[in-house]
Structure 1
């Protein structure tokens, strides 16, 4: 668990996955420079996984450690940015789940649910969703199939497309989060541009000044925005697909994910 604090005025903590490389590391550094305490869950250099998203036991242990620290400093932001893309769906996690699905969706679902009790009021959650508009029809039986045998359904592509409907799942289930949950699509932008945009989304309305660059569009966000897409260096707010907004899809996704990680619906 990597933690860095810059400055003493800040009273919020950022918990992040996917913050050790790429545009995630840019976002993490901008947050540190603004005075945030940033906890990045990642594999240790020694090979010991402080947060191994392929192992649900590791996710639970990481969440416990974060919760213990939150007694002194509230968690104001959660960035679920880690993800992977495999050319095949043959790999399985120690829990027997297809690896892409486990890392990109299920581990993040579990982490966020475990952190819910220790989030500050008004906490912001941002989920990176690179292909969120291409979600195929989701049925309860299909979610379970894609977790354990995705080749029988429609491959690992589904796992990369779950973040946006998950945003609506949180709102539909009446958690403490609701509208502060947003999905972010970095598209094919430069690493610095995507990092700046992610940091801006993570901090706006949470109390970190000076993170979002002028003209980025971050400070133009209204309460109804949920899906931010970065195109040609500028953040825009895109209307999600009708399927992504369906309450029945959100509830199925929530319920099936809960069953897979052993939590109540």
Structure 2
């Protein structure tokens, strides 16, 4: 039997996250799942901890739209690990994501909601837990083909990512179309390009200690991603859009969950830093290979969330704890 480990997964309350939590429990009988959700972690843990999952599920309250909530979650999990209440932390799956109807909505800390949750919240959570990761742990960030900005990957359903300094993208947009649904979709694509950049920057900082991947599940109609859309958009996403699953670029939550779980705890899916398109290493967009932009993202995110920003080096050399920005 393999050594017992814990895997943290964000956005575990629905859709891909919930299906992946279940897939993880099925994949390895010695594995513990830390299911992070905005509300009701105890109820979620009770739902998952049935049958084979009994005693192996731990709910964690974590609202990625609030840096204070993320810090509290990081401290809680670190305390559980240090006290031996959980096996060593062998993986982090950054799955939670939002897509809003505009690019003007704000997190509790004043950041643009999509970028704040999808990028900054995960960045802070990972930074808080880097020194708790077991040797050869894995970090898997869930990406999206929307970051390509072309019809092959998004079928024309979303604009491409916006080009602007990271500092600007992290704030509510002030462009003329910022209050439109198109801007909301562009903000989502922008956050997913930043997610690939974050994976590359993180990979450079954890050589030989942690494997880092960006996992693109494919388009998944029927999930909760459109929950903030209009009634017509939600109805289309949950009904007509199911027909797109007949196309090769699409997938369902259960199949995507099996692949995501395998990427996190199965055989290594490829070289660390890889972009995994439905589980297999593939090139990400040309714009995603930009070391200068990746470093800009890392350093700007660190400053915005209150973490130290050394120029280079592995996580253990990155200075003191992440505080309040």
Question: TM-score by structure 1 length?
Answer: 0.81
Whether contact under 8 Å (1:76, 1:120) holds in the other structure is yes
Residues 150-161 of structure 1 aligned to structure 2 (within 5 Å): 150-152=173-175, 156-157=187-188, 158-161=190-193
SS of residue paired to 2:98? coil
Residues 66-145 of structure 1 aligned to structure 2 (within 5 Å): 66-71=77-82, 72=84, 73-130=87-144, 131-134=146-149, 136=161, 142-145=165-168
Whether contact under 8 Å (1:18, 1:81) holds in the other structure is yes
SS of residue paired to 2:301? helix
| Alignment of 1:166 onto 2:205 | no
Larger radius of gyration: 2
Cα separation, partners in 2 of 1:192 and 1:115, compared to 1, 3 Å: same
Aligned CA-pair RMSD = 2.5
Per the TM alignment, residue 44 of structure 1 is displaced from its structure 2 partner at its CA by: 2.5
Give aligned pairs, total: 236
For 1:38, the equivalent position in structure 2 comes to 33
Cα separation, partners in 2 of 1:137 and 1:169, compared to 1, 3 Å: farther
Per the TM alignment, residue 138 of structure 1 is displaced from its structure 2 partner at its CA by: 5.5
For 1:245, the equivalent position in structure 2 comes to 289
Residues 216-227 of structure 1 aligned to structure 2 (within 5 Å): 221-223=269-271, 226-227=274-275
Consecutive aligned runs of 4 or more in structure 1 exceeding 2 Å deviation: 43-47, 131-139, 149-155, 174-179, 221-225, 240-243
Question: TM-score by structure 2 length?
Answer: 0.67
Per the TM alignment, residue 27 of structure 1 is displaced from its structure 2 partner at its CA by: 1.2
SS of residue paired to 1:105? helix
Whether contact under 8 Å (2:23, 2:261) holds in the other structure is yes
Whether contact under 8 Å (2:136, 2:210) holds in the other structure is no
Higher mean C-alpha displacement, 175-184 vs 143-152:
175-184
Whether contact under 8 Å (1:243, 1:249) holds in the other structure is no
| Alignment of 1:190 onto 2:222 | no
- Equivalent position to 1:29, from 7, 14, 22: 22
SS of residue paired to 2:169? helix
Alignment deviations for residues 109-167 of structure 1 (CA, whole Å, 9 cap, x no partner): 0000110010001110100011333475766xx21112123233975241232111111
